Amino acid sequence: MILACLAFCFSCDDPYENIPDDKSYNGKPFVSLSSESGVINLNGTTKGALTDSVALSHRQDHDITVTLELVERFTVGEVGTHFTYENNLTIPAGAFYGHFKAEALDVKEDGDVKISDYKLSVRIKSVDDPNIIPGLYGNKLEGEERQKRYKTISFRK
């Protein structure tokens, strides 16, 4: 039985054998969020901050301005009341990253709403250079248009 299993495993084709070693993305430059989630630790208060980044696939010889927008569908809480975020950031010429800040202004338990219920979701809205793709798209849900990827920032005591 063991010999049959070993023989079967060694007879399988290598799925990666036809992929060239120099395979890399050579399309138009794009910007993307650094990850899909983040956490602001409140450390026993109602305030806190997180500095996060947006990545650029190819260095440019000029500054790039990226505009972020709120994803209301996945945000719980009010911008300006519970939290805020910088909606414009710059990726300097020659750099791969630009940074933005999200801040908790007054995140606290309120009736049935726990601190962990609050969420701030943002995505890339636009880039000031028409030759750069603004954000990557996520999985398509059935019956919906494909949506841009977004980042959800949660809050922790």
8 belongs to a structural domain = no
Q: Closest by alpha carbon to 36, among 65, 79, 2, 74?
A: 74
Residue 24 lies in a domain: no
Q: Which domain holds residue 82?
A: 29-138+146-156
- 8: part of which helix (H) or strand (E)? helix 2-11
The reply to whether 13 falls in a domain is no
- Could you report the per-residue pLDDT of 142-154, keeping only the tens digit for each? 777 777 889 999 9
> Is position 19 within any domain?
no
Indicate if the pLDDT at residue 6 is higher than 60: no
Within a domain: 73: yes
Q: What is the CATH number of the domain that holds 77?
A: 2.60.40.1740
HSE-up of 55 (CA within 13 Å, CB side)?
7
pTM of the model: 0.80
Confidence band (pLDDT; 50, 70, 90) for 18? low
Over residues 63-67, mean pLDDT: 97
User: Is 94 domain-assigned?
Assistant: yes
Q: Please give the mean pLDDT across all residues of the chain.
A: 87
Residue 131 is predicted with a pLDDT of 94
| 50 Cα distance to chain centroid | 14
For residue 107, is it within any domain? yes
Distance CA 16, CA 117 (A): 43
Overall number of domains in the chain: 1
Q: Is 18 within a domain? A: no
CB neighbour list of residue 21: distance below 8 Å, 6 or more residues apart:
none
> What is the DSSP secondary structure assignment for residue 140, as one 8-state letter?
P
pLDDT of residue 82: 96
**Three-class secondary structure assignment of 44-99:** CCCCEEEEEEEEECCCCCCCEEEEEEECHHHCECCECCCEEECCEEEECCCCCEEE
Q: Which of 126, 123, 134 is nearest to 36 (CA)?
A: 123
- 134, 123, 127: which is closest to 65 by C-alpha? 127
The candidate with the shortest Cα–Cα distance to 134, out of 148, 145, 120, 153, is: 148
CB 140 within 8 A of CB 146: yes
122-140 pLDDT tens trace: 999 999 999 999 988 776 6
